[in-house]
Structure 1
Amino acid sequence: MSSWRDEKNQKALARLESRLSPSFPACVLAHALRQPLIPPTQRRAMESYWRHRPLLADRLARALAAKSGEPAGWQWRLGRDKDTGLPATFRMPPSPYREAASSRGPGHCCVCGQPVYRLGWHQDAWDDGKPNRNATWHSACVVAWRLWTAPTDHLRMLKLRQKRKCPATGRRLLRTAEVDHRVPLFAVWSEHRTRAWPELLAFWGAPNLQVINRQVHLEKCAEEAAERARRRAAPSLATES
C-alpha cells in the first residue's frame, strides 16, 4: 500500500508542478504537499484546502459579504418561484446575489458578491485584474455555503472547536451529540430579518452553531416548539379579546 501511494504521489506531484503557476497561493501549495494523497491539479488542491478549513471559509465568506454589503433596496424575502432565486424557507441563508434581481453575473460570487479570480480564489494573486468570467462561486464560499446549509456534515470539526465539551452542561460530548443553532432560525426570521444582510449570515455561520448532547437538544427543541406555538396563538388571542 505504501509503495502504491508513493508512486501515485510522485505522479501527482509531477503533474501538479508541471502546471503550477508562480502566483499560486503558497498556503494552498503547502497544504497540498502535506496530504496523504497529493492533489494532481491546482484546482483540486484549492478545493482540498478549503474543504479542510470550513470555519475559516465561513469567516472569509462573511467578511467578503460585509465588503459587498447588501444591494440597494434589498429585503430578505421568501418565494416559491425558482427563477427569482428567492429561498423557499427561512432555514436557507438569505443570499441577495443569488437572486435574479441582484445578481452580478459571471465573474462575481453569487454568495458574497465579490469578484472571483483564477481557481475560485478571492484575491487577485495573479495581479492581472481579470475576474474569471466562467466562475460564479469562490472556492471558500462553496465550503461556507455547505456549512451554513448542512452543518451536521461538519460535526467533527465543530466538536473539536468546543474541545468536545457540551456548552449547555459542561460535560463531555457523547457520540450522539447533535449540531444546534443557538438562536433558532425561526427566531432569526421573526425577530432579526430587518438587520443588515452581512450580519444575518452569522446566524447560519460558526458564531451561532454549537454541538450539544442529544438529550439537551431534545429539551431545547421542545422549548422552542412551545415558544412557536405561543407566538402563533398570540394573534388569535388578541383578536378574540
Structure 2
Amino acid sequence: MSAAVTRRVTVVTAVHAPSARFLPEAYRSLREQRLPDGWEWEWLVQEDGHGEEVRAHVPDDPRVSFRQGRAGGPGVARTMALARAQGPYVKVLDADDQLAPGALGRDLAALEARPDLGWATSRALDLLPDGSTAGFPGDPEEGPIERGTVLGHWSANDFRAQVHPATLCVRRELLLALGGWMALPASEDTGLLLALDAVSRGWFSAEVGLLYRKWEGQVTGRPAHTDPVEREARMTVVAARAQALAALGWRYG
C-alpha cells in the first residue's frame, strides 16, 4: 500500500432516494474540512438499493465513489462500502447530516496521538428545519472514554448513549474485526458503538463535530422506529452483543 493511501481517511455515507437531496450539503461540509499535512479524504457514497434518483445528487469529484446495491438498510449499505475503503480510518457521515468545521482533523489528531484508542466521537447538535441548532444534554468531558462506560450509561438511561454514534471515526481494522454495522432495521450504529466500547477505549471531543439534521422524512422519526416490541428486541441484541464481547476478554490495543 502506498504512503498516500495509508494517510487517508475514508468517509462512508449510506443514502436512499428521500435523503439524496441533502448530499450536496454533506459534500460541502466535507470539502471544507482541513486535514493535517499529508492527509486526504475519500468519500464512499453507497445507495441502499437501485434507483435513478440518487446519482444526480452525487458530486462529480475524483475523491467521491458511488455504488448501488440491494436494499438492506443503512448498516448494510455502509458495510458494503467498506469493500472500497483504502484508509486506516473510517468516518461516518449520514447523507442528511453535515460535518462541523475541523471535525475530521480533530478525529485524526486524537487517534494518531493515542494508538491505544480504537474510536473517536464528538459533540453533535440537532439541525432543525428552520436552520437553528439544539444541543444534547449530558455531554461528557473531553478526553478518553474507558471501556464499558458507554454501555453502562446507555443501560441506565433508557438506551440513550452519552455520545452520538453518528459522529464515529473508527480504525478500519477494528471496524472490520467487529463485522461492521449490526444487521438491524435500526440502531445499527448504536450496536457498533457499544461493540467498540466493549473492546476498546474511545475519545470524546467537546467541540461540535456534527450537525444532525431533523426532518420529516428521516427513518428515526417514523412510528416503526419506536414500536415497543421491535425496540425491545433491538436493544436486547445490542446489549447482548456488547456483553458477550466484554466477557470474551479480547481487547484492542
TM-score bracket relative to the smaller structure: under 0.3
More strand by share: 2
Higher relative contact order (CA 8 A, sep 6+): 2
Instruction: Give TM-score scaled by structure 1 length.
Output: 0.23
TM-score, normalised by the number of residues in structure 2: 0.23
Give the structure with the larger helix fraction: 1
Larger Rg: 1
